[in-house]
Structure 1
Amino acid sequence: MSTNSFFDGWRPQLVESANFVGDFDIPQIEALPDIVPLPKRLVRFDHRGSESNHQGWIHCYTYDQRFTQLVNHTEKYLQEIRAFDGFITPDCSLYRGAPLAVQIGNTYMNRAVGSYMQHHGIPVICNIRWADQSSYSFCFDGAPRNSTIACSNHGCYRSREDKYQFEAGFDQMMSELTPRRVILHGTPMPQLNEKYGKEVEIVYYPSDFAQTRRGF
């Protein structure tokens, strides 16, 4: 059995039924049907085993090492994830200043895992992650347009530069993908509702850290 995606040739079995788009052949995530309701709550992948309530969507808004096994052995977790309402594609990190090859590879794996889940009948929402302007040429590839998408500012909305890059990328995402609904995990950003609220539904989901602090 392979131990990681590198030794396994970047998990080609995940994309056997996928369509590919863009200059870098990123797997396409199909639009979430409008009849699928928004998540009642989000459940972190590494917390799934302690959940008796499966009414929620699995997400990976945490350190990459906490969902590495999901990327490396996606098939192993298919049935566990199927027990929940749906799946948000992995939030593989795109660090500013990281080699573009790494950023493209992480975008590819985000979509590859999501495409596999979708092919096996699991409702999937595409998570969008960007770094800075240099990532705009690929980081939106494979995401559905005029649909429901997700993103997170958790852990990347601290410094002035973080805030600038997140809001600039959010604007670009809105322009490129024209979503109908946006799931935003992390810190509420009222300015986005003021800017886009008339054309898109932005729904906030607090991070685990925020829920703990508030006593949820």
Structure 2
Amino acid sequence: MKHPTSNWAERPRAGISDIWNSALYEGANWTELDNPVVASTAKEMPTAVIPWHEAKRTHKRKMAKGLRDYHVDAFIHCYIDDQKFDGEREGIWKQWRFFFEVASHFDGILGVDFSTNADFPEPVKRFQFHKMHVIEHGAIQRGIPTIVNARWGTQETWSYCFDALPENDVLCIGVVGSGLRNLENRPMFDAGLRRLIELKHPKTLVVVGSANYPIFDEVRASGITVVQLDGETSRHFKQKERRHV
């Protein structure tokens, strides 16, 4: 059965704008919780990452110089404060076409990571998870190499936060700003990661931020490959930027 969003663009009445981003849902297969099914499509593991706000600055500089065919050997991530990628004017949810335009000049995207703070109302947290996978689906549909993001919150989110994630695939997680240096924050993170592995059996975890915590030793011991990348624009990218034109 077709989802109601599947042919929205074919039947809007005059004067209507697509304020619900239904164009992002085209071609989706749906979970029972009405999230688009996603799978990682990147053929190569990232060797460098750049946060969205810096990727955007890079794009604007290149365009100003007339370098419309430039390419940067780095993946864009959103493991940053939400106001830097989910604002009213230039947030990737509202301005997704611009996000994809910029991403087309990079190796791909990972870490589409809208916040799901414990004190958010439950419907807001659910919508944040939904947005992650809608953006990922839209990128995949447009041929942008994508590594699917996994995120979890307190235990009550486990009934829906892993929905739509692929099994036996590559997933990315972010530990930037996670507070894992404080011992009291680790049990919830560790429990969620164990639950993710139990349900989805990832073959590779791309970790943006430090992977020097005991839980990742446990992950490696289970046979899962851990690829660790720095959260800020990586040194690898900074050293090579001048050649990425």
TM range (shorter): 0.7 to 0.9
3-state secondary structure, aligned to 1:57: strand
Shift of 1:189: 2.9
TM, length-normalised to structure 1? 0.86
3-state secondary structure, aligned to 1:71: coil
User: Alignment length, in residue pairs?
Assistant: 204
CA distance in 2, matches of 1:113, 1:168: 27
**Letter matched to residue 21 of structure 1:** T
CA distance in 1, matches of 2:166, 2:105: 24
Structure 1 pair 200–148 and aligned structure 2 pair: CA distance change class (3 A): same
Q: Which residue of 2 aligns with 1:39?
A: 46
Q: Which residue of 1 aligns with 2:34?
A: 25
Q: Which residue of 2 aligns with 1:196?
A: 219
- Written as runs of structure 1 = structure 2, the 5 A alignment for 1:38-187 is 38-48=45-55, 49-50=57-58, 54-68=72-86, 69-156=91-178, 157-187=180-210
TM, length-normalised to structure 2? 0.76
Q: Deviations over 1:104-128 (max 9, x none)?
A: 1000000001100000011111111
**Which has the bigger relative contact order, CA under 8 A and spacing at least 6?**
2
Shift of 1:187: 1.9
Q: Deviations over 1:179-209 (max 9, x none)?
A: 0100111122342343121411011112229
**Letter matched to residue 26 of structure 1:** N
CA distance in 2, matches of 1:110, 1:193: 24
Instruction: Give unpaired runs (5+ residues) of structure 1.
Output: 1-6
CA distance in 1, matches of 2:81, 2:171: 20
Identify which range, 75-84 or 107-116, moves more after superposition: 75-84
Instruction: Give unpaired runs (5+ residues) of structure 2.
Output: 1-16, 63-70, 240-245
Shift of 1:89: 4.5
Structure 1 stretches of 4+ with a deviation exceeding 4 A read: none
Shift of 1:150: 0.4
CA distance in 1, matches of 2:51, 2:40: 22
3-state secondary structure, aligned to 1:20: coil
Larger radius of gyration: 2
Structure 1 pair 96–158 and aligned structure 2 pair: CA distance change class (3 A): farther
Q: Which residue of 2 aligns with 1:3?
A: none
Q: Deviations over 1:162-183 (max 9, x none)?
A: 2111111111111111001001
Q: Which residue of 2 aligns with 1:206?
A: 230
Seq. identity, %: 23
> What is the CA RMSD across the aligned residues, in angstroms?
2.3
3-state secondary structure, aligned to 1:55: strand
Q: Which residue of 1 aligns with 2:65?
A: none
**Letter matched to residue 83 of structure 1:** H
